[in-house]
Amino acid sequence: MSSDSPGFELPLRLFLAFRVLIDALHDELTHRGHPDVRPMHGYVFQAIGPDGTTAADLGRRLGISKQAAGKTIDTLERLGYVERDTDPGDARRKIVRLTDRGTDCLALSARIFEQLRAEWAQTLGEDRLRALEADLRSVTPAEPFLLDVPGWFGNS
Amino acid sequence: MSSDSPGFELPLRLFLAFRVLIDALHDELTHRGHPDVRPMHGYVFQAIGPDGTTAADLGRRLGISKQAAGKTIDTLERLGYVERDTDPGDARRKIVRLTDRGTDCLALSARIFEQLRAEWAQTLGEDRLRALEADLRSVTPAEPFLLDVPGWFGNS
DNA sequence: CCATTTCGACAACCATGTTGTCGAGTTTAA
DNA sequence: TTAAACTCGACAACATGGTTGTCGAAATGG
């Protein structure tokens, strides 16, 4: 049936490849002291950045409401990955910053991703992998962020 | 910072490429009379298959509970894409089948995916695209389904 | 100085998943 | 053949994570 057509296979393989990487990352993170981080948290960490941000700004960057961003921050604060700090220059704002644990997790994720990429390079060959990355770059928008995954895929 | 490392870029590009295809598909589906189908519905249609299935079985195939599968079926039934039929051979079961509209949508999706793949082939070259598909196949599990996307990515 | 904007908090709501329970029907095995 | 075990779909209760709307406090700009 139609599910065997190459057109149907391509998006499926792209998603599965993404998922293989993310699952491997989080298996490894779990074994190295970060069992509670969820796939999207890594991208939240990157969106927060080294200088911190605010709930409203984080929501803008992630494409969700500031309230939803606030709830995510609540969760990460409870897990010890971020901390809120009052902005001395603007009494309305509360700066969200990565804690040491958050920074560690982000750096560890980077190392694990490098390792996973190295494994792919061994399987595919470095040239093929570089070609794959170049091809993906040429069919995707340059602008990175905006991971509103939950909801986007959802049922109705 | 670390977000520029190739290890970080690879999963992001894979996801963006997936998303580019899915968004293009649903833009086109919207313009061709199917504005209400959501990204995951296409995979539900494929999981239902030409012979139909039951709510419990659909849940098993999609990796969600039978109750969640039942709610998805409710939605698709309301939209006119599937219909429930009592199984003459087993009074407990209700067979879920694609309606003509559901079958049309699935066939249309296949045509649109083929068209999108053709566009990529024009951008990348047919050989490069075939290489990309082959490489993705060699880093992903052979077994296809199990799209429990919503939830899997989620916050906590 | 006052109008507008922006921030974070709170409440209400909705969508979509989860378990648990249940009665009805089927299957299996003593 | 009958009783136990299983499976199906439905219903209820709940958790999560998103949404909008409102609000007071603080900043900003005419």
State pLDDT tens for residues A53-95. 999 999 999 889 999 999 999 999 999 999 999 999 999 999 9
- A14 neighbourhood in chain B, CB within 8 Å: 14-15, 17-18, 21, 136
Reported as a single tens digit per residue, the pLDDT across B4-15 is 676 889 998 998
B57 nearest nt, CA–C1':
D8
Q: Residue B48, by phi and psi: left (phi above 0), alpha (psi -120 to 50) or beta?
A: alpha
Backbone angles phi, psi at A86, to 5 degrees: -70, 140
* pTM (predicted TM-score): 0.88
Other residues' Cβ atoms within 10 Å of the Cβ of residue A151? 12
Q: Which window residues (82-111, chain B) lie with Cβ within 7 Å of strand D?
A: 84, 92-94
Instruction: List the single residue in B17, B106, B136 with the smallest CB-CB distance to A139.
Output: B17
Cα-to-chain-centroid distance, residue B27: 15
Our CA-based measurement puts residue A85 at a distance from the nearest CA of chain B, in whole angstroms, of: 22
Domains plus CATH for chain B? Answer: 2-142 (1.10.10.10)
Q: Are B17 and A50 within 8 A, CB to CB?
A: no
Residue B155 CB lies within 7 Å of the nucleic strand D: yes
**Interface residue of A140, A143, A145 to substitute, partner B, most B CBs within 10 Å:** A140
Nucleotides of D under 7 A from a protein CB: 7-12, 16-21, 24-28
Q: What is the pLDDT of residues B55-97, one digit of tens each?
A: 999 999 988 999 999 999 999 999 999 999 999 999 999 999 9
- Distance from C-alpha of A92 to C-alpha of A68, rounded to nearest angstrom: 18
